Amino acid sequence: MRKVIVVMGIGLVGAALVFAKASDDTEARKDFAAAKVLLDQKNYTEAQAAFEKITKDYPTAAPDILANARQSVGACMYWQSNYAEARAVLEAALTDYPSASVNFRADLQKSAGDCLFGAKDFVAAQSAFEKVLKDYPTAGVWILSSAQAAVGTCLQNQQSFVLAQAAYEKVLANYPAANPSLLASAQRNVGRCLEAQGVAAGANAAFMACVQNYSWLLGAASDQSVIWQSFEQVNPKLMTVVEYKAFLENTIKAIKAIPANADFIGRLQSELDKLK
C-alpha cells in the first residue's frame, strides 16, 4: 500500500514530497516484482490486475516504474488474446512517455505491431513494424532484427513472397549479431519464400544453409524444430550424389560433439547409408 506522509510547515513541503516519492518508489518496485512473478508464471489475469493496481496506487512513482507497469498490462492483455485492448494500452504509453529510452519506445511500438499481427491484420502490423525501423534506427539489435523479421512474416502472410524474401534477407545481412534462433528462422523462411516462387534450386540452397550454418542450435531444445524443418525440406534430387553426401558428412561433423543431437545425427547417418 502507498504510504501517505504529512509534514506540517511550509518550509518542509518539498522535503515531504521527496520523502513520499521515495517511499512510493520503494513500495511500487516491490509490488512490481511480485506482479512480474505472476507474469512469469503465465498467470496473466492476476498479473494484469497487479500491474494495473501499481499504476493506481502509486501515481507519483518514478516514470520508469509506471511505464513498465503499463507495458506489462499490455503484455498480459496480449497473452490473453485481447489484442485491441493491449494495443490501446501500449500506444497510450507511447504517447504518455515521450522521453522514455529509445529501446523502451521501440519495444512499445514493436509490441503494438504484435497485437495487430495477433489480430491477423497483417497490413497494419507490417506498417507498425516498419515504423519501428524508421522511427528508432538506433534501438537495440534485438528489437530492430525482430521488427525486420516481423515485416517478412507479415508479407509472407499476404502472399507477397518476393518482398518477404527480401525482408528476411535484410535480417541476415543487416543484423548478423541478432539472436541466432531468429537468424536461423529467417534463413529457413528465405527458403520457403523461394519455394513459393517456384525457385526450387534456390530454396534448396537456403534450407541447406540453415542446417549447415545453424545446426549447433540443435543443442537448445527450443530451437531444434527450425533445423529439423529445414532438413526435411532439403531435396537431394536437386543435387548430385557427391554434393548430397558432402552436405550430410559436413553436417554430422559439425554437430556430433553435441549430445543432444543424437537423433538428428542418426537421421543424417541413415540418409548417408542409403548412398552407399
DSSP state of 3: P
Model confidence at 264, pLDDT cuts 50, 70, 90, reads: confident
Q: What pTM does this model have?
A: 0.85
63 by Cβ neighbours in 10 Å (0-12 / 13-18 / 19+) ranks as: exposed
Q: Centre a 10 Å sphere on the Cβ of residue 262 and count the other Cβ atoms it contains.
A: 11
Cell of 151: 515485416
238 within some domain: no
Domain span including residue 83: 1-100
171 by Cβ neighbours in 10 Å (0-12 / 13-18 / 19+) ranks as: buried
Model confidence at 266, pLDDT cuts 50, 70, 90, reads: confident
Which residue type does 143 have?
I
169 within some domain: no
246 within some domain: no
217 within some domain: no
Average pLDDT over residues 81-98: 95
Query: What does the chain come to in residues?
Result: 276
65 within some domain: yes
33 within some domain: yes
Contacts of 126 by beta carbon, 8 Å cutoff, 6+ apart: 113, 151, 154, 155, 158
Mean pLDDT across the chain, nearest whole number? 88
46 within some domain: yes
| Statement: residue 87 has pLDDT above 70 | yes
Total domains in the chain come to: 1
Question: Which of the residue ranges 161-170, 192-201, 225-234 would you say has the lowest mean pLDDT?
Answer: 225-234
Cell of 138: 538506433
Contacts of 149 by beta carbon, 8 Å cutoff, 6+ apart: 167, 168, 171, 182, 185, 186
Domain CATH code at residue 82: 1.25.40
Collapsing DSSP to helix, strand or coil, 101 comes out as coil
Instruction: Map grid coordinates 541413415 to a residue.
Output: 270
Inter-residue contact 142 to 178 (CB < 8 Å): yes
Instruction: Mark residue 6 as left, alpha or beta (left: phi above 0; alpha: psi -120 to 50; beta: remaining).
Output: beta
pLDDT tens per residue across span 16-70: 333 344 556 899 999 999 999 999 999 999 999 999 999 999 998 888 999 999 9
* Longest CA–CA separation in the chain, Å: 94
Instruction: Map grid coordinates 543487416 to a residue.
Output: 174
63 within some domain: yes
For residues 218, 220, 222, 224, the Cα torsion angle rounded to the nearest 10 degrees is 0
Question: Which of the residue ranges 98-102, 149-153, 188-192 would you say has the lowest mean pLDDT?
Answer: 98-102
Inter-residue contact 3 to 31 (CB < 8 Å): no
